[in-house]
Amino acid sequence: MAIARLHGGPLDGQVLPLDDESQDSLVMPYSETQVVYTRRGGLENTGEGDGPTSGDFYFVEAEDDINPDLDGRDE
């Protein structure tokens, strides 16, 4: 199993499992919308004994405008 390290956007700093190591993008729910991250570069730690295989995914867009400061709160 591989992991995705997320950079930028509302999910910055999170680490998630990847179902498929060949995935180039992730579309995930966030609040009442979806956010898109794409992989930059190749996978790291692909050999035996060097830790979990991982890739860096960077924020591209959200389907709707998001304001992380207001998520989960009534306006």
pLDDT tens-digit series, residues 19-28: 888 889 999 9
pLDDT score at 49:
83
- 74 pLDDT exceeds 60? no
Q: Where are the domains of the chain?
A: 2-62
pLDDT score at 26:
94
Is residue 5 within 8 Å of residue 57, measured between CB atoms?
yes
The torsion defined by the Cα of 75, 34, 62 and 5, in degrees rounded to 10, comes to: 110
Q: Where does the pLDDT of residue 75 fall: very low under 50, low under 70, confident under 90, or very high at 90 and above? A: very low
pTM score above 0.85: no
